Amino acid sequence: MSSAPHFQRVALIGFGLIGGSIARAAKLQGLAGEIVTTARSEKTRARVMELGIVDQVVATNADAVKDADLVILCIPVGACGPVALEIAAHLKPGAIVSDVGSVKGAIVRDMAPHLPNTVHFVPAHPVAGTEHSGPDSGFAELFINRWCILTPPEGVDADATDRLRAFWAAMGAKVEVMTPDHHDLVLAITSHLPHLIAYTIVGTADELAQVTESEVIKFSAGGFRDFTRIAASDPTMWRDVFLANKDAVLEMLGTFTEDLSKLTRAIRRGDGEALFDHFTRTRAIRRGIVEIGQDSAAADFGRQHGALRKP
Ligand code: NAP
């Protein structure tokens, strides 16, 4: 546990995978004197009370942010603008207001106009997650050795950015600062496009007439299974991501479609050399990701396999 809390009162708006993980990590590390949270539904509020991780669960966002030194919106991207408007008049002067949304340009566009200039607005995106959602899905270790990208708009107090950086670092994250537009371009290719492809391929397999659904499920370990995990991600969150990062995703999708056409041509023409060269290049990228510790080198993503029975 750290020696002193980084913030006296932390307000988390939304207690799902990300909000719940921040609460658990901050509590474990002693980063907040007090953690107060709010969730939209009565059901979530009741469950959060039961979990006993936070100090207070309140019914309104306005109540949650009162006297808070750090406010983090942990809700879908599309909900951040309206919630910023709702809390604006209740924010403590000097407070840091942040979020965890997977898109940053739209967050700055939707939230900044509502926030008073007495607070410091430092948007953030922890590049860490799972396909699970809801109050039970969070865990304290989620951010360890994962990147958290801060995108402070121009003119934001450097001290506020440093304090938020230290908060994320204390939860185990590696922190980098970039502009919202650059963030959206990088994440379009590293996260948003892969999700779109997974959603597409799983939907396509579901609609195939020649292969039965039971065959798709039965033989899924051939590669399909790894797409299904991503395609199980929260529909609300991902709807908002694609609507909010439309331009960058369309740009990357254009490049992707051109590359897919090249591979299609190589298959049609029987151009084994082109295919081999391409797959060799992509294999090196995977090795690079493992080398910098962003994934496990274990075979089959570290899945447990049963042993062969002795004859
Ligand atoms: P989640 O598990 O579905 O939790 C979302 C929370 O937001 C719930 O507490 C929900 O309350 C609340 N909420 C939903 N709609 C709302 C609205 N209109 N107004 C106020 N509260 C609302 O989602 P999550 O995965 O934590 O995602 C939250 C944010 O983190 C998103 O912006 C996402 O882009 C970002 N993010 C997600 C991941 C990931 O892998 N999941 C990774 C990095 C960043 P109820 O339970 O009452 O509905």
For 7-27, write each residue's pLDDT tens digit: 999 999 999 999 999 999 999
124 lines ligand 1 (CB under 6 A): no
Q: Comparing 7-178 with 182-293, is the CATH topology the same?
A: no
Could you tell me which residues come within 8 angstroms of residue 300 by beta carbon, excluding any fewer than 6 positions away? none
What is the bridge-based pairing of β-strands 124-126 and 147-150?
antiparallel
User: 0.85 exceeded by the pTM?
Assistant: yes
Side-chain-side CA neighbours of 174 within 13 Å: the count stands at 6
103 lines ligand 1 (CB under 6 A): no
78 lines ligand 1 (CB under 6 A): no
148 lines ligand 1 (CB under 6 A): no
What mean pLDDT, rounded, does the chain reach? 94
pLDDT tens, residue by residue, 192-241: 999 999 999 999 988 887 778 788 888 888 889 999 999 999 999 999 99
Higher pLDDT, 291 or 120: 120
Q: How far is the CA of 15 from the centre of ligand 1 (A)?
A: 7
**What per-residue confidence (pLDDT) applies to 3?**
58
Tell me the C-alpha distance between 128 and 217, whole Å. 27
What is the percentage of the chain residues whose pLDDT exceeds 70?
Answer: 99
CATH 3.40.50.720 fits 7-178, yes or no: yes
Ligand 1: nearest atom to the Cα of 240: 34
Tell the residue nearest (CA) to atom 31 of ligand 1.
Answer: 76
188 lines ligand 1 (CB under 6 A): no
Q: Is-contact 114 139, C-beta < 8 A?
A: no
Identify which of 109-113, 203-207, 281-285 has the greatest average pLDDT.
109-113
Q: Using alpha carbons, list the distances in angstroms from residue 125 to 18, 52, 77, 150.
A: 10, 26, 11, 6
79 lines ligand 1 (CB under 6 A): yes
**What per-residue confidence (pLDDT) applies to 298?**
83
Q: Is-contact 12 35, C-beta < 8 A?
A: yes
Q: What is the mean pLDDT of residues 183-196?
A: 97
126 lines ligand 1 (CB under 6 A): yes
Tell the residue nearest (CA) to atom 25 of ligand 1.
Answer: 17
Ligand 1: nearest atom to the Cα of 19: 26
Domain boundaries, the chain: 7-178, 182-293
Among the four given CATH numbers 3.40.50.150, 3.40.47.10, 3.30.565.10, 1.10.3660.10, the one describing domain 182-293: 1.10.3660.10
In the predicted structure, residue 1 carries a pLDDT above the cut 80: no
